[in-house]
Amino acid sequence: MSVTLPQRPARQLRLGRSQRKAPVPAPRKWLTWRRWTPYLLILPAIVLELLIHVIPMVVGIWMSFVELTQFFIANWGEAPFAGLGNYRVALDFSGALGEQLLRSFGLTLGFTLLVVGISFAFGMSAALALQRFGRGRGLLRTLFLVPYALPAYAGIVTWKFVLQRDNGLLNELLTALHITGEPTFWLIGNNAFVSLVIVSVWQQWPFAFLMTMAGMQVIPEDVYEASAIDGAGTWQQIRYITLGMMRPMNATLLLLLFLWTFREFNTPFVLFGATPPESANLMTMHIYNSSFITWNFGLGSAMSVLLMLFLILVAGLWALWNRKVNRDA
Amino acid sequence: MREQTSFRVFRWLVLIPLGLFTVMPLYVMVTSALKPLRDVQGAFEWWPSNLTISPFVDIWSTVPLAQYFVNSLIVTTAATVFSVLIAVFASYALSRYTFRGGRLFSGVVLSTQMFPGVLFLLPLFLVFVNIDKSLGFTAVYQTRLGLIITYLTFTLPFSIWMLTSYFNGIPRDLDESARVDGASAIGALIRIVLPSARPGVIAVAVYAFMTAWGEILFASQLTDSASRTLSIGLQSYATETNVYWNQVMAAALVVSAPIVAGFLLLQRYLVAGLTAGAVK
């Protein structure tokens, strides 16, 4: 596509000019190059978006309405129509599958709120602490960003080693500090949830740090100077100037963190393998397992669609709230 | 400006724990990669008592790491180049023209970024299986080509989004004056806009590369032993009887080093590019 594009403008431009010379006015404007340029530029992206996003999404929604079990995966034309059957199974909270989904949803919500809250607090505090820090600022900033640059599996697999019961660093540390006597299992039972939160925070907070730091840099220095002349202390400046002026950006950041954390897959998958302990069975993991272990793609798709609808709902409510706040302000 | 003492205390109360939290796993990764196997099987040693570099040698023979490396490199590079190339034209259109459907397109691009990957994995899996079945040979299911296509689902929207905001930051006068001088739209893009957007293009490419390099979800189902990438291949150091933790750490270090180095070198561009959209 990149080969044919550069040749076109010349030809089309000539066409445009010859029309302008024509004795009859009223050139046929819809034929001009200028009008079609953006469409030609964006055409490859549209074709690709259709192929990788729009069509799979339509297929995914179709899948959620058919009985797509293992017999039909390589033979999808013959899968019987299931109507709302898959949704009925997923949302029947008294049945086993529905109950699992509900529990996984609650777990994911708790996990997300914790990880987003802690990551945001960490990121904001670090950004505040490094503001006007002077020497060593660049070094610390770089250090804090390393977990973000690290490929997800490299960071998580290292944590998996840290969290090992017999040869991990965490238990060694806890025994050395006399916090616990017996070595603890960190990757099974309810402790798995704690581990999941810690590892996710370790990966997520640098992003919050990066964003809040960038947000602080756009606040003009003279606002602080003016407030200092008026007698404001550091904490007052942080509360009324820094946090006040960053509110719109923070609102966006929190939404992004929420949407990303809610669909977290890497951390449970690398920490626990394909079958995580129940306390770490996040939504995406749950859908993944229902699809690829039992090979029920219909049910898996129905749950994916429900997850998507929930995320749309969250984003929509956020947008409404955000508009109201901005109008009141 | 004077800072209150309580703030100075707060600063160190924040920086020291966060610094330790960040460094701790990195320290474990580096030191454990330099230990012989028996030293990573017992209680954790703070300082390696028997320094060795053999894990860095062994990682290549325990599992076909070089092959995983090549697969990752091919898939990631292809996805990056392809999405940046397409995104350059699309973002230029979105940034410099108002046209019917433009807003709709941006909306679709933005919204796909927030959807969970599993939503695309299931249909792509199904479509790939059935494409290969109707073709009669494996073309996309569990091949590198198939994986490249799925990686575009996240590298492309992100690249378009980030480049558009970057192009918006480049004054329109620049390319408009070139247009007045007779340059075509493509000419203005290639000769005027792209050179000034070079940091942005680099940032987008590096970021796309980083995300694709670390991708796990798609790779876990859409690769087989021949097309396996690093993200899944690294798990092969754990056998049923033994986990070669020193080799796992060495391999994690080796596959991360180029990415982290690239990120740190281009940090300035990346940070500017990543935050451009959010701050404005």
Using CA atoms, how far residue B160 sits from A272, B112, B145, B166, B277, in Å, is: 34, 12, 22, 10, 12
Asked, for residue A137, whether it belongs to a domain, the answer is yes
pLDDT at A1 exceeding the cut of 60:
no
Q: Encode B232-260: b = buried (16+ Cβ within 10 Å), e = exposed.
A: bbbbbbeeeeebbbbbbbbbbbbbbeebb
The residue among B121, B150, B217, B156 whose CA lies nearest residue A60 is B121
Most A CBs within 10 A among B114, B218, B243, hence the mutation to make, goes to: B114
Alpha-carbon dihedral sign for residues B200, A50, B115, B144? negative
| Chain Cα centroid distance, residue A267 | 13
- Does A115 reside within a domain? yes
Chain A positions in Cβ-Cβ contact with residue B149 (cut-off 8 Å) = 51-52
Q: Which of A203-207, B85-89, B92-96 has the lowest mean pLDDT?
A: B92-96
Mean of the pLDDT values across residues A301-320?
Answer: 92
Integer Cα distance of B77 and B72 in angstroms: 8
A13-22, A305-314, B67-76, B218-227: the lowest-pLDDT one: A13-22
Task: Specify the residue for token string 């099987």.
Answer: B41
- Looking at residues B204-208, what average pLDDT do you find? 89
Mean pLDDT over A25-50 rounds to 76
Mind telling me how many Å the CA of A94 is from chain B's nearest CA? 25
Asked if residue B273 has pLDDT above 80, the reply is no
Contact B120 A54 (CB under 8 A): no
Q: Is B40 on the interface with A (CB under 8 A)?
A: yes
Residue B250 predicted with pLDDT over 90: yes
- pLDDT tens for A52-69 read 888 898 999 998 898 887
pLDDT, tens digit (0-9, with 9 covering 90-100), for A96-131: 888 889 999 999 999 999 999 999 999 999 999 988
* Residue A319 belongs to some domain of the structure: no
Task: Collapse the DSSP code of A117 into the 3-class scheme (helix H, G, I; strand E, B; otherwise coil) and give the result.
Answer: helix
Strand ranges for chain A from DSSP E = none
pLDDT digits (tens, 9 = 90+) for A33-44: 667 888 888 888
- Find where tokens 């009141």 sit: A328
Residues from chain B contacting residue A126 (CB–CB below 8 Å): 14-15, 18
Give the whole-angstrom CA distance, residue B210 versus residue B207. Answer: 5
Residue A52 within a domain: no
- Structural domains of chain A, count: 1
Q: What is the mean pLDDT of chain A?
A: 83
CB of B216 within 8 A of CB of A269? yes
* pLDDT (0 to 100) of residue A4: 38
Q: Is A81 helix (H, G, I), strand (E, B) or coil?
A: strand
Query: What pLDDT sits at residue A94?
Result: 85
Distance from CA of B168 to the nearest CA of A (A): 15
Q: Do the domain assignments include residue A262?
A: yes
Q: Answer yes or no: is A231 within a domain.
A: yes
pLDDT band at A14 (very low <50, low <70, confident <90, very high): very low
Of A63, A150, A288, the CB nearest to B118: A288
CATH number at residue A282: 1.10.3720.10
> Which structural domain, as residue segments, surrounds residue A248?
101-291
Mean pLDDT of A222-240: 85
Among the partner-chain residues A56, A140, A152, the one whose CB lies closest to the CB of B15 is A140
Please give the Cα distance from B208 to A266 (Å, whole number). 17
Confidence band, pLDDT 50/70/90 cuts, at residue B2: low
Residue B238 phi, psi dihedral angles, 5° rounding:
-100, 110
